[in-house]
Structure 1
Amino acid sequence: MKKLIFSTILACLFVFNAQAQDDNTMSNDDFSKWQIRFRVLSVIPSPSDDIVGADVDISTSFAPEFDFTYFFNKNIAAELILGTTKHEVELEDGADLGHVWLLPPTLNLQYHFYTGDFKPYVGAGINYTIFYGVDAGDLDDIDYDSTVGFSLQAGLDYNLNEKWFLNLDVKKLFLETDVTPKGATESSKVGIDPLIIGFGVGMKF
């Protein structure tokens, strides 16, 4: 299902780009340098691990998010994404590992297309994920290492007027962390790799 959603958006971007070759009349100076968006996110992890005989399960989470976009020209922009999510963690058919909060500020470089009131875009970048607010569940304590990951992105803005627009956005983050229970001599690698689907409203200025 996740692959289908991401593939559908990418296919739409190619269609919009083909149409934009005929419709794009915007000059290089006719664009807003700044945008801000408010989105509601669904964060869907795809967990993996190197723990022998056990599988880590990480819950889906819903959260608000703010992002800021700066346009270097009408097509190329940089977007900073700010949000935080809480996830329940457990071993399937095993221990309850409580919950942990993730703060993954992400910076993406984007390319925007233009066709009428639609503005599809693609992007790629980097994130630094901080783990905090840890509840160890059945364990005495557990430590998650902060980590650097990579991001892919595809989305679509739809202009309501010259200032306001709607947004649909899909990101895939590639990240893993070293997890160390209290008293353990070695850590375990846990992949999170969330798919992030967001919908919201934005403003140009």
Structure 2
Amino acid sequence: MKKSNIRRLASLTVLCAITGGAAAQESPWFVRMGATSVQHQSDADIAVGGGAVPGSGLNLSDASALTAEFGYWLTPSVALRGLVGFPLLKTRAEGRGTLAPVGELGKITYAPLVVTATYSFDLGSVKPYVGAGIGYVGITDTKDGALKNLKVDSGFGSVLQVGVDIPIDKTWGVFLDYRKLYWKTKATGTVPAFGGAPAQVDLNPSPSAVTIGVSMRF
């Protein structure tokens, strides 16, 4: 066999080995889809006409949505994840305590965006993980109730995350995930029942989200 043919054969063999090795590697990209239940804290300081309303409080209703998370494995243990919710999350603010008689103060619609970094522990059939990151809550709509001209500020907060991945095969898996978003915001409006006096509510919703779903590596 000619030397030139030997060189071509050797080059082809090396190329096939490299291509085959790359194909055998697992993709670093993954996506997770799930159903998410969100519970809000009800911590709030309420002031009307510049003065605190004694004995007042509010309740924020729970919410639910489908969520999609896109991720990338930096190493076999470390991943970057980005989560969005759809349809948009909705919660009702209802008065309690001395504000209970006024009923619903208003409705808030918001869109969450959460980016975290996680570390996974390989325990064989299960892969628990922990992580932290940052979240942004964008207020997309408000509807007046007892509060008129309701406005709520968007904002950032820190996120803690824990969960467990349960692989089914190299492509598919199921997961259970918990995230806590430490987020505070401010709502403003007017109260017709008090002669249109301005109202301010300092809110600490800090929502907790539990998600169960299916993951796919691609």
How does the TM-score come out when normalised to structure 2?
Answer: 0.76
Gaps of 5+ in 1: 1-28
- Give the counterpart letter for 1:198 in structure 2: T
Aligned-pair Cα RMSD in Å: 1.7
Say if 2:184 is the partner of 1:180: no
Q: Which residue in 1 is equivalent to 2:43? A: 48
- Correspondent of 1:191 among 193, 204, 210: 204
Q: How far apart in 1 are the matches of 2:38 and 2:197? A: 30
Per-residue CA deviations over 1:65-93 (Å, capped at 9, x if unaligned) read 00111111111111101013111111111
Report the structure number with the largest CA radius of gyration: 2
User: What is aligned with 1:23?
Assistant: none
Q: Does 1:125 align with 2:129?
A: no
Q: How many residues align?
A: 177
- 1:6-155 alignment to 2 at 5 Å? 31-51=26-46, 52-53=53-54, 54-83=56-85, 84-92=88-96, 93-95=100-102, 96-155=104-163
Distance between the aligned counterparts of 1:143 and 1:94, measured in 2? Answer: 22
Q: CA deviation at 1:57?
A: 0.6
1:185 CA drift (Å):
5.2
Judging by fraction of residues, say which structure has more strand.
2
Equivalent AA in structure 2 for residue 175 of structure 1: W
Paired residues of 1:37 and 1:202 also in contact (CA < 8 A): yes
Per-residue displacement from partner, 1:43-71 (whole Å, max 9, x unpaired)? 00112011232111100111110011111
Cα distance in 2 between the residues matched to 1:30 and 1:49 = 51
CA drift of 1:98 comes to 2.5
| CA spacing shift, 1:132–1:184, aligned 2, 3 Å | farther
> Cα–Cα, structure 1 residues 130 and 122, in superposed 2: closer, same or farther, change >3 Å?
same
Report SS of the residue matched to 1:50: strand
Q: Name the CA distance, whole Å, in 2 between partners of 1:178 and 1:61.
A: 19
1:131 to 1:168, Cα distance in 2 relative to 1, 3 A: same
Structure 2: how far apart are the matches of 1:175 and 1:119?
A: 28
The Cα of 1:94 is off from its aligned counterpart by 3.8
Where does the alignment leave 5 or more consecutive residues of structure 2 unmatched?
1-23, 47-52, 191-195
What's 1:8 paired with? none
Q: Which amino acid aligns with 1:154?
A: V
Residues 110-166 of structure 1: per-residue CA shift (max 9 Å, x gap): 111112121111110111111122111123221001111111000011111110000
